[in-house]
Every structure is written in structure tokens, then in C-alpha cells.
Structure 1
């Protein structure tokens, strides 16, 4: 069994490259289940209802989110219409949407795997949400017991917090993977308790920019210390993520492989 997990989809370039290439990647890699982080899919800032529908028309099983989940205000009203969208669990109650859910994946031989997908936001250099460690502590055993596989998108800034959370979930989660920084790290590994881990899976969208934004705008901001309106970068694009190879009998990851593909565009 193989699971494809793709990093933060950024703006129109990210959505377009998925429309053009996702089905091919799934076929070539023999993927059974696909999870995509969509918190930057609308102009690099949130996820609109229209773009949520656009992404879910693709072969995507689950969309996870992050600190920009509510930037497109309409999602506050419409997120309940999308059972495939998971927002950070550690937003304080009451909060629309859900922080985890269970999804069924039917394998090619007809067997079904029950997959729990969890989304959490870190606290260091991030919005001051509830502690992700304390939120997950009472759920670790129950999720492991209720699902064949447990996938955790830890949307966080600090490398140290991400690594610590990986160890916190080792032996409970099938995989803990970081999102948010848009830069793919090279530390993929399987921890001693069997949990696959990587600090950040990267982003899907503009390659010729600064984590998705036109590079000149960022340079001007850093040189002048004056804010500017962010504009999505153009030019080459990238698809970043990981592929998890799962032992179907043991329900454990045997390999975690980084996916990093670039594409030239005429935009």
C-alpha cells in the first residue's frame, strides 16, 4: 500500500500543477490514498469554497489545513460541507470543522484500511492555540486502536517543536510529517517506535519565488522594512511531498520517500 502526501498547495500555480500532474503521479507511483495540505491554495492565503471544490474534484482524499485556515472567511460557514477537510485540532472550542476524522481506503484486492488523519498547529512563532501535545495526549491510544493507520500533519514553524512532536507520537502514529515552512527537509526516517517522520514535506506551487511569493517583493520588504502586498510568484513550479510504503499486514511504514519534482511553465 502506498500513501501520497503533498505539501502546502500555493495559489493558482499550485492548483494548476496538481490538475495537470497529480493523476499521472498517482498512476506512476501506484498510490492508494492521497492527502494534500491546502491552507495556501487560494492566493497563498487560505482556502476558498470554490478552490476547495476544485481540489476535491482531483484524486485527493483528504485536505489538511494550518494557521491560514480562516483567512478566507467563507470557509467558517462552509467547512462543514466538506467532510474531507481537516483543520488544526487545537483551535479552542467552539470551532467549526474538525481536527481529525476517519477515512476508508479500498485497496486493489478489495480490502479496506481505516485511516485516521489528524491536523495540529504548533505554538512556537505561531498563533497561540491550545497546546498540541496536551491535545493529542488523550487521543494517542484511542486513535491507534480505532484506525489501521494514523497520519498526523503537524503544521509548525520551529524545527525543534516538530522533532519533539515526532518523538511524542512515536509508536502511536503511522507517520508524523511537518508542513508550513514550504521548504522540504532531508531528514526523513523511521523512528525507533515505527513512526515515519520528516520535519517538512515542502510545498506545491511556485519554485521561482520566496516560499511562494514573488522574490522581488520580499527583497524590497527586507531592504526597506516597509510592508508590501504579497503577489504569487510566476515561472517554474514544484510538487513536494512524501510517499509512504506500508506493510499491509503489519500496518507499518517500511519506506518513507521524498517526492520533489519541478516543471517548467510558460507563465
Structure 2
């Protein structure tokens, strides 16, 4: 089965451009499953918005994953009730949302797991206190069938160690959160596909997809780039950050970067 994984989607323009492209690509490349990290898909770039989530699902995204921005607004939190929308698994069970989804596909059962590292989650104070290590949550998750992991984190080392630890069990570990794609595309010895950072689907002329003027002004004038608030997504051309996995049973046999 061919699986498309789309990195952090930033803003509503990115959603619109992605959704106009996705159905044709899915048909052309015989994609059986599409997973997208969309925690930044709201027009502000912070959290999710219902219009954009519905647009993604209608265009052919099967599962939406998240991270530290999954709780940025009441609307975003409400969307965690949708069965197709995940947030990191390794936080308290009493926190809204779920971190694992099992679904049936023509290729058999698929488990999608959303994990995060502590550095990614520390900005969410109400949730940080419930954080547990990703590997412990993984070990208790009972993943079955073909297993995809969105590992939302800052630390390259943690992502790479985790991928090695689950090699041969997970079909793929795909890194998100930093928005800056890494070059190497790995198929580990046990058959686990691994990309340290898939990259961003959003405006390429900003910082992590966001306009930078206010941030630069804040840094220059106060030493704090966020003293003037967080700006919205940049207005420049949108780029795609994604990878296409070719799988055979529960193993990945090929990883291809997809971009425009």
C-alpha cells in the first residue's frame, strides 16, 4: 500500500492549495491512506478550525494528527472529538482527545499513533504536568497491523532513538513539529521507514510559516520575539512538505519525498 504523510499544515491557504492537489495525486499514485498533521491549519495558524478540518477530510485526508497546538482554541479542542482527529497519546487520559486510531483499509488493519516529546509539549502548561515519556506510552498502546507514528518533537536524538527502538514493529516513524524538513529518508534494517522531520505544508517565506516582521521587531526592541504577540501565517507561496511510503505488509520498502 502507498501511504502519504503530510507535515504540519500552516494556515487556511495551505489547506486550500493542498486540497485542490490531493485528490488527483491520490488517484495518480494509488494512495491507500493519507495522514496529515494539521494542528496549525486554522486561519491564524494556531490550532485547528472546523472549516479547514472538514475541507481536509472531504479532500481525502483519512487521519489528522496534532501536537502542542491542538488545544490553542475552544474550537480546536472541540475538534478533538472527531474520530479522525488525534493528539499526542503520551499525556493524561483525562485530557480531551485520543492519541491512537485503528482503522480498516484494503491492505488490512492500520494503527496510527500520535506521540510527542517533552520539548514540544512544554508550552502547554496545563498538559505538560500530565506528560509521560513517548516510549512508555507506545509500549502500553498495543499497536496492531501496519503501524504509523507521528512523532511530534524538537529533539533529533530522541526521534532517532525512538525510531531505532521500534524498528521492525512500527511501519514508519515520521517526525513533525520543527517545520524544517530533514534530507535523509531512511528504511531501517527491520523495515521501519523513518524521517526525522517531514517538514511544513505552508508559506515558505516566513518563520515556520508565520510572518516574521513582528517577531523580529520584538527581538530587536525587547529581546523577546513574542513580546508583540504571534503573527498570522505569511502571505508567500505555499510549499508542500510530505513523504510517500511504499509498504509491503507491515514493512516500509521505499520512502519518497513529495513537494511542490
- Shift of residue 242 of structure 1? 0.5
1:163-178 aligned at under 5 Å gives the runs 163-178=160-175
- Shift of residue 167 of structure 1? 1.2
Mapped to 2, the partners of 1:105 and 1:93 lie a distance apart of 27
- Shift of residue 181 of structure 1? 0.5
Q: Is there any run of 5+ residues in structure 1 with no aligned partner, and where?
A: 107-111, 262-267
Q: Is there any run of 5+ residues in structure 2 with no aligned partner, and where?
A: 123-127
1:29-48 aligned at under 5 Å gives the runs 29-42=29-42, 43-48=44-49
1:136-155 aligned at under 5 Å gives the runs 136-139=138-141, 142-143=142-143, 146-147=144-145, 149-155=146-152
Mapped to 1, the partners of 2:111 and 2:236 lie a distance apart of 36
Give the equivalent residue in structure 1 for 2:132. Answer: 130
Question: Kindly tell me: are residues 93 and 26 of structure 1, through their superposed partners in 2, closer, same or farther at Cα, counting changes over 3 Å?
Answer: same
**Alignment partner of 1:50 is 2:51:** yes
Question: Kindly tell me: are residues 208 and 60 of structure 1, through their superposed partners in 2, closer, same or farther at Cα, counting changes over 3 Å?
Answer: same
Matched residue SS, 1:124: helix
- Shift of residue 53 of structure 1? 1.7
**TM-score of the superposed pair, with normalisation by structure 1:** 0.88
- Shift of residue 125 of structure 1? 5.4
Question: Kindly tell me: are residues 251 and 93 of structure 1, through their superposed partners in 2, closer, same or farther at Cα, counting changes over 3 Å?
Answer: closer
Give the equivalent residue in structure 1 for 2:252. Answer: 253
- Shift of residue 78 of structure 1? 4.3
Matched residue SS, 1:9: coil
**Alignment partner of 1:116 is 2:111:** yes
Checking the alignment, whether the CA contact within 8 Å between 1:119 and 1:153 is kept in structure 2 is: yes
Mapped to 2, the partners of 1:183 and 1:75 lie a distance apart of 24
Give the equivalent residue in structure 2 for 1:233. Answer: 234
> Alpha carbon RMSD of aligned pairs, Å?
1.6
Give the equivalent residue in structure 2 for 1:109. Answer: none
Mapped to 1, the partners of 2:174 and 2:120 lie a distance apart of 18
Give the equivalent residue in structure 2 for 1:184. Answer: 181
Mapped to 2, the partners of 1:218 and 1:23 lie a distance apart of 36
Checking the alignment, whether the CA contact within 8 Å between 2:156 and 2:196 is kept in structure 1 is: yes
Is 194-203 or 51-60 further displaced after alignment? 51-60
Matched residue SS, 1:53: helix
For 1:209-232, what per-residue CA distance to the aligned partner results, in whole angstroms no more than 9, with x for missing partners? Answer: 111111323322332224223121
**TM-score of the superposed pair, with normalisation by structure 2:** 0.90
- Shift of residue 83 of structure 1? 0.9
Question: Kindly tell me: are residues 78 and 16 of structure 1, through their superposed partners in 2, closer, same or farther at Cα, counting changes over 3 Å?
Answer: closer
- Shift of residue 104 of structure 1? 1.7
Count of matched residue positions in the alignment of Structure 1 and Structure 2: 248
